Amino acid sequence: MTALVAPARLTVAVLAGVLLTALAVVIPAAPAAAEVDRPVVLVGAPGLSWSDAEAMGGFLGGWSDELAAGSLVVRSTRAEACPVDGWLAISAGNRASGELLEGGCAPIGPPAEGSAVPDWELYLQRADDAAFGSEPGLLGDVLADAGIGTTAIGGGAAVALATSEGTIGDYRPFVPSSLTEDVGAALETSDLVAVDLGEVGDDTTSGTSTREEAAAEVAEQLGAVLAGAGASGRDPLVLISGISDDGGPAGLRFFAAIGVEEPAQISSPSTRQPGYLLATDQHATLLDLLGVDSDGTSSIGAPMTLSPADPDALVAAATDRQQHAAAQRPLIPGFFLSLVLINLALYAVVTLGLRRPRLARSVADRRVPVLRTMRVISLAVAGIPVSSFLTNLLPWWRVEPPLLALLAGIAVIDAAIVALALLGPWRRALLGPAAVVAGVTAIVLAVDVITGAQLQVSAIMGIPTLVAGRFYGMNNTSFALFSSSLLLLVTAVANSLVRRGRRRAAALVIALIGLAAIVIDGAPFWGADFGGPPAMLVAFGLLTLLALGVRLTIKKVVLVVLGAGVVTMAIAFLDWLRPPAARTHLGRFFADVLDGDFWEVIGRKLDQNLTILLGNRPLTILAICGVLLVVLVLIRPVKETISSPGGGEYAWLSNGAPISAMAKQAPMLGPGLVALAVCAGIGFAVNDSGIAIPAIGVAVAVPLLLASCATWMLARGGESDAQAMDDDGAQAPR
């Protein structure tokens, strides 16, 4: 019997050991108390911007040797962020918002003694409704688990430091007259002290009547905070945040750190742009400064980074960034509307004006000037987008009025691009001039993305810094321009090879350029674009097959689409392998899939797509509807004209040749248009910008096609600026 008991006890002991080991692995250990090397004081002045620096007198100058400065992007779930939105962003490390009253932002009430923060349940409900995965109270919970003592001074500070239950351990009302004593006393027991100075604006609650007076009062109160910090003897790092917008138009806000080792510029891995950080980065920054690990939470921010900078240029650079963003925002709607109207006017002239017999009879003897003018205008229209990016190399926002400077810059650069397209030897090729404009567009965007995408920041068609979700890589506008331009460029290159019977070489060129484009667009360290790679993979894959002369079948198309999906998820997986703070939205999407949030993310993107389609982007809808209107109304006469043996109503321009004969000299043009349509269609489906993708692609592709038609028609007439071609596409002797 004893012999049986011993093995039984041994078995029980082994099982118990295995069970305890499993529990140790499954149940996370309680977080160890963090060791704080240096306390932090966060001072919030909602609405404070760098343009207020002058009104703050010599306050900043007195700390220039230990000042770090950056521009805070305060975008919340709404276009303009309320003060409570900014404080909630610090609390959750994610976008969150409070109530919006009919007259503006709801005020933040102070918590009563021993009670929760007012309206906390409302904040939790709005976070759930917004579907961003925000968890108000996350900062308070993490700090409490790490044993970090906190003190909130003022209502907004209480919102930032409250736990998920809405409670705040140490709260003190904001009393300007005792601010020095309150901060000093708080630092005796707390490693993080948050102070809400109240909103800065033209009509502030502090009783000041002008913004200048409000800014001067903020400087005085900051002096009191710093005096209390100094009296504590703990040498805290003081962060000063503009928190939110000020009740007026959205803008970049003030963010500074006082007490750094040397003057520095503040940036963040979230933006990858020097001088910019997001409101949600403040959450991660506080935890990082306090030595608390934030991995595994729903926070989407990243700790701020510092790079040495000239102290005399810090404030000027931050003010310039604010001026740039403020100049860009009001011009965006008008610019896109103008681009739409210019394109529609071009389509109307070509499809209605140039095919009228009466007009043809009146200008038939001026056929060459008409075609040359049409080609120049078409190339110029297609060159507007890339010219708007290149104009950002010039400080147009510093000129009054900035609109005139912007338009002048675009016009000059656009003219130079058109001249380049028409003056080189490529002007003689059917797709040559169009390929030059497309190539310039694709190359400029590719180089910009590879070098950090700084050209896109606050460009009129680039990254709107006041509303952007990300500041790096290939955003949806850039993707639409890049993909459509590059597909036209490779179509032109492949066309010359196919005409010489070198289909394999053409397919190889398309595949290599497509692969390079997909890497540039999808690599986490460059484009970091999730929706772009599948669209381009399918488009370039189909174009490669068509260049080889392969007949497409449903099976082959499905295989290409599946391959695109696999490659895209592989890119996301590789990004997910990196540390959470270093991931782009590609890796975060893969993490959402693993966490079971896939459908929530998809639902949010579909909602954004539908919102844009149905209401928020009338200009892009106008572009697509305008093009569809022209095509649908004129589809029959245009089809008859193209197939007419004598050129139909365009015979006076084509010199009596059928327009369909153009396909003999451009055998890759049809496959190229198919690839363009596929890329735009998939881009429309998988990107949250939706209808903007095909709309912007059309704004480049259609004018370039018209320019190519004009080049072909000029060649049919044997004009001096385009060598005549025979029916087989070979150059005829002159």
Tens digits of residue pLDDT in 676-695: 988 988 888 776 666 778 88
Alpha carbons 72 and 90: distance in angstroms, whole number: 12
CA nearest neighbour of 586 among 567, 608, 558 = 567
Of these ranges, 235-249, 564-578, 677-691, the one predicted with the greatest mean pLDDT is: 235-249
Per-residue buried b or exposed e for 42-68, using 16+ beta carbons within 10 Å of the residue's own CB: bbbbbbbbbbbbebbeebbeebeebbb
The arithmetic mean of pLDDT across residues 509-521, rounded, is: 94
Amino acid at position 146, single letter: A
Lowest mean pLDDT among 64-78, 382-396, 450-464, 643-657: 643-657
Lowest mean pLDDT among 118-127, 633-642, 672-681, 704-713: 633-642
Lowest mean pLDDT among 124-138, 222-236, 377-391, 558-572: 558-572
Question: At residue 724, does pLDDT exceed 60?
Answer: no
The arithmetic mean of pLDDT across residues 579-587, rounded, is: 61
**Between 83 and 37, the higher pLDDT residue:** 83
Q: What is the pLDDT at residue 21?
A: 36
Alpha carbons 483 and 667: distance in angstroms, whole number: 21
Q: What is the pLDDT at residue 2?
A: 43
Q: Are 254 and 52 in contact (CB under 8 A)?
A: yes
Alpha carbons 668 and 646: distance in angstroms, whole number: 23
Q: Are 48 and 253 in contact (CB under 8 A)?
A: yes
Lowest mean pLDDT among 345-354, 537-546, 560-569: 560-569
Question: At residue 378, does pLDDT exceed 60?
Answer: yes
Alpha carbons 47 and 83: distance in angstroms, whole number: 8
In the 8-state DSSP scheme, what is residue 463? B
Going by C-beta distance under 8 Å and a sequence separation of 6 or more, which residues neighbour residue 253?
47, 48, 49, 71, 72, 73, 74, 241, 242, 243, 244, 245
Of these ranges, 75-79, 128-132, 452-456, 727-731, the one predicted with the greatest mean pLDDT is: 452-456
Question: Alpha helices of 132-252 — where are they, by DSSP H?
Answer: 138-145, 155-161, 179-189, 211-231
For 438, the enclosing helix (H) or strand (E) is helix 432-450
CA nearest neighbour of 721 among 422, 376, 414, 364 = 422
The arithmetic mean of pLDDT across residues 564-576, rounded, is: 71
Q: Are 534 and 564 in contact (CB under 8 A)?
A: yes
Alpha carbons 568 and 353: distance in angstroms, whole number: 45
pLDDT one-digit tens code per residue, 4-24: 344 444 333 433 443 333 333
| Confidence grade of residue 1 (pLDDT, cut at 50, 70, 90) | very low
**What 3-state class would DSSP assign to 70?**
strand
**What 3-state class would DSSP assign to 240?**
strand
Q: What is the pLDDT at residue 294?
A: 74
Going by C-beta distance under 8 Å and a sequence separation of 6 or more, which residues neighbour residue 222?
43, 59, 197, 240
Question: At residue 616, does pLDDT exceed 60?
Answer: no
In the 8-state DSSP scheme, what is residue 713? H
CA nearest neighbour of 698 among 630, 613, 609 = 630
Residue 534 burial (CB count, 10 A): 25
- Whose tokens are 């002239």? That residue is 349
Q: Are 35 and 282 in contact (CB under 8 A)?
A: no
Q: Are 214 and 200 in contact (CB under 8 A)?
A: yes
Q: Are 279 and 139 in contact (CB under 8 A)?
A: no
Q: What is the pLDDT at residue 586?
A: 60
Alpha carbons 717 and 58: distance in angstroms, whole number: 72
Alpha carbons 467 and 75: distance in angstroms, whole number: 6
User: What 3 state SS string does 611-640 have?
Assistant: HHHHHHCHHHHHHHHHHHHHHHHHHHHHHH
Question: At residue 303, does pLDDT exceed 70?
Answer: yes
Question: At residue 590, does pLDDT exceed 60?
Answer: yes
For 716, the enclosing helix (H) or strand (E) is helix 692-716
Q: What CA–CA distances, in Å, run from 291 to 35, 192, 265, 475, 477? A: 7, 12, 22, 34, 39
| Confidence grade of residue 35 (pLDDT, cut at 50, 70, 90) | low
Question: At residue 368, does pLDDT exceed 70?
Answer: yes
Average pLDDT, the chain: 82
The arithmetic mean of pLDDT across residues 366-385, rounded, is: 91
Q: What is the pLDDT at residue 10?
A: 39
Q: What is the pLDDT at residue 639?
A: 52
Residue 547 burial (CB count, 10 A): 29
Please enumerate, as own/partner, the contacts of 163-168 that have beta carbons within 8 Å and a separation of 24 or more.
163/137, 164/135, 164/136, 164/137, 164/138, 164/140, 165/116, 165/120, 165/137, 166/116, 166/117, 166/120, 166/121, 166/137, 167/116, 167/117, 168/111, 168/117, 168/140
In the 8-state DSSP scheme, what is residue 353? I
Question: At residue 166, does pLDDT exceed 80?
Answer: yes
The arithmetic mean of pLDDT across residues 304-311, rounded, is: 95
Q: What CA–CA distances, in Å, run from 509 to 442, 499, 512, 663, 680? A: 16, 14, 5, 21, 21
Q: Are 148 and 34 in contact (CB under 8 A)?
A: yes
**Between 642 and 464, the higher pLDDT residue:** 464
Q: What is the pLDDT at residue 656?
A: 66
The arithmetic mean of pLDDT across residues 175-182, rounded, is: 96
**What 3-state class would DSSP assign to 500?**
coil
**What 3-state class would DSSP assign to 652?**
helix
Lowest mean pLDDT among 160-169, 181-190, 408-417, 653-662: 653-662
Judge if the upstream peptide bond of residue 401 is cis by omega within 30 degrees of 0. Answer: yes
Question: At residue 647, does pLDDT exceed 70?
Answer: no
Domains of the chain: 41-309 (3.40.720.10), 321-716 (no CATH)
Question: At residue 424, does pLDDT exceed 50?
Answer: yes
pLDDT one-digit tens code per residue, 538-556: 899 999 999 999 887 777 6
Question: At residue 563, does pLDDT exceed 80?
Answer: no
Alpha carbons 282 and 88: distance in angstroms, whole number: 11
Facing residues of 310 across strands? none
Q: What is the pLDDT at residue 452?
A: 93
Question: Alpha helices of 69-210 — where are they, by DSSP H?
Answer: 83-92, 120-130, 138-145, 155-161, 179-189
**Between 623 and 312, the higher pLDDT residue:** 312
Alpha carbons 279 and 620: distance in angstroms, whole number: 29
**What 3-state class would DSSP assign to 306?**
strand
Q: Are 162 and 140 in contact (CB under 8 A)?
A: yes
